[in-house]
Amino acid sequence: MAVDRRITGGTVVTPSGSVQADVLIADGRVAGLVSPALGLGSDAPAVDATGKLVLPGMIDVHVHTREPGYTHKEDIVTTTQQAAAGGVTTIFGMPNLAPPTTTLDTLNEVFDLYREKSIVDWNHNPAATDAGEVEKMGRTDIRAFKIYMVVDTGRTYPHPAGTGMHDHGHLLQMMDVIAETDKRFIIHPHDQALMDYIEGAYLARGENTPAGYASAYAARNGVIWDTAIDVILRLAEASNCPIHIAHMQTGRSIEAVRRAKARGVDVTCEVNHWALFLSTWHDVETLGPYALSYWVPDDAREAVWDGLRDGTIDMISSDHAPHTREEKEIGWTEMWSSHTGTPGIQYYYPLMLDAVNRGLVTLERAVDSAAFQPAKSFHLDSTKGRIAVGYDADLVIADPTETWTITNAEVLSRSGWTPYDGRTITGRIDSTFVRGEPVFLDGTVVGQPGYGRIAATAG
């Protein structure tokens, strides 16, 4: 066996537990996990991981690259530079672009952009709004479709026309069509009719502020999320459509998903970085629009952590959503006009390692939620999501003991800022490899645009 690279001395995290082993890499795949005492592959270039963790690369199925159409915020190159730095080896892009990804033609155009520009492996989730186009796109190598059950109030982005769906009949129709494609349906849950009523009251009182916005979206114990998720689960059960729910953030929704899984509904769900690490009332007060996304009250956040720990919440996904400072600053006085969402792909995996150090989640569950579960849920689990012989050598070397401070100076996003600026954490990514090749080494992105390829092998 000709070994191309050997990662030595590290603690390798596998689905069956952590082991002391050297990882042998050949032709972009894991060729063996061997005792450090064995000389097998000793002539190959070695990467010293002594005292460090060797993790499977994160598979992030919820990433907003902003290209095409909004490249003043971000683009595929800058997104995947951050992915490499953050230990993310595969991304799934989202369809809220210009033009939105709603047809086979626009999907192929986006695929061409990834082929030219992505540093890490990739896929894309087109919007499911037209049955005929869904059937055609379903015959491609996509892993999932996406839809938003939301209309923006006071702005036209980040949920542009062509990507939203609110009529329950239309939603059921799309589920019926997608059920025939062997793809999963990613849904941003939202009860727009309730939100119109709730936020209308806040705006009528002049509470167009970060605090008003945060309170409105969490109003009545998160009723806009809970009612939408109840509908989604019932329609999924009626259609036998595999679904994936984005933005889990209430205890009641987690219980609803737990019960649906027990009934045999094919549902997976995710938690985003902001719900775990950026959703306290203190964040809303001090960071204002830079913290929103959404506010998650303390009891709901604990329920989210519990759901992640017990596996009801299957996976972590960043919801990387960069915007310029100008698009955020208006939110201090006109929050409903601010573009909501926060950049997160560069720091989610390190924040999870810090959570492991703080005893919030086990290392094995953190890695499972970052790699194996997304691979399993989106039919990549024959090639990605674990460190095992025959799998793509998508690997991360991380120092679990290094304490460091996140700063805007290290941000690779075109937006130039992170809501975690000034936060000190323990656990840092040293190196990232995609199919055996380094894309991030010693604090520097070394991967080249165009190296990434489509992640599409079904399990």
Cα–Cα nearest to 80, from 350, 445, 382, 363: 445
Strands 22-26 and 53-56, bridge-based pairing: unpaired
CA of 146: how far to CAs of 142, 163, 275, in Å? 11, 8, 20
CB atoms near residue 101 (< 10 Å):
29
Residue 458 pLDDT exceeds 80: no
Model pLDDT for residues 282-320, shown as the tens digit of each residue:
999 999 999 999 999 999 999 999 999 999 999 999 999
For the chain, the residue count is 459
**The token pair that represents 270 in the structure block:** 């995710």
Mean pLDDT of 446-451: 98
Q: How confident is the model at residue 16 (pLDDT cuts 50, 70, 90)?
A: confident
Please state the domain extents for the chain: 5-54+393-445, 57-377
d(CA 27, CA 143): 25
Catalytic residues: 319
Q: How confident is the model at residue 41 (pLDDT cuts 50, 70, 90)?
A: low
Mean pLDDT of 257-265: 98
Q: Where are the alpha helices (DSSP H) in 400-450?
A: none
d(CA 115, CA 121): 9
> Quick one: pLDDT at residue 459?
42
Q: What is the pTM of this model?
A: 0.97
Using alpha carbons only, how large is the chain's radius of gyration in Å? 21
Q: Please state the separation of Cα 8 from the chain's center in Å.
A: 29
Residue 1 pLDDT exceeds 70: no
- Concatenated DSSP letters of 33-91: EE-TT--TTTTS-EEE-TTSEEEEPEEEEEE---TTT-TTT--HHHHHHHHHHTTEEEE
Mean pLDDT of 230-235: 98
d(CA 162, CA 344): 25
Q: In what order do the strands lie in the sheet with 267-271?
A: 144-148, 184-188, 243-245, 267-271, 315-316
What contacts 99, CB < 8 A, 6 or more positions away?
68, 69, 106, 162
d(CA 50, CA 321): 35
Minimum mean pLDDT among 31-40, 204-213, 338-347: which range? 31-40
Helix/strand/coil percent split, the chain, to 5? 35, 20, 40
CATH code for the structural domain at 57-377: 3.20.20.140
Q: Peptide bond before 68: cis, by omega within 30 degrees of 0?
A: yes
What contacts 400, CB < 8 A, 6 or more positions away?
52, 53, 353, 356, 357, 363, 426, 427
Model pLDDT for residues 144-192, shown as the tens digit of each residue:
999 999 876 666 677 777 788 889 999 999 999 999 999 999 999 999 9
Query: What are the φ and ψ backbone dihedral angles of 34, each rounded to 5 degrees?
Result: -130, 160
Model pLDDT for residues 370-398, shown as the tens digit of each residue:
999 999 999 999 999 999 999 999 999 99
> Quick one: pLDDT at residue 161?
72
Kindly state the greatest CA–CA separation across the chain: 73
* Percentage of residues of the chain with pLDDT beyond 70: 97
Q: What would be the CATH architecture of the domain defined by 5-54+393-445?
A: Roll (2.30)
Mean pLDDT of 94-100: 96
Q: Specify burial of residue 292 (Cβ count, 10 A radius: 0-12, 13-18, 19+).
A: buried
Residue 66 pLDDT exceeds 90: yes
Positive or negative CA dihedral for 405, 410, 412, 417?
positive
CA of 148: how far to CAs of 276, 424, 430, 434, in Å? 22, 34, 36, 31
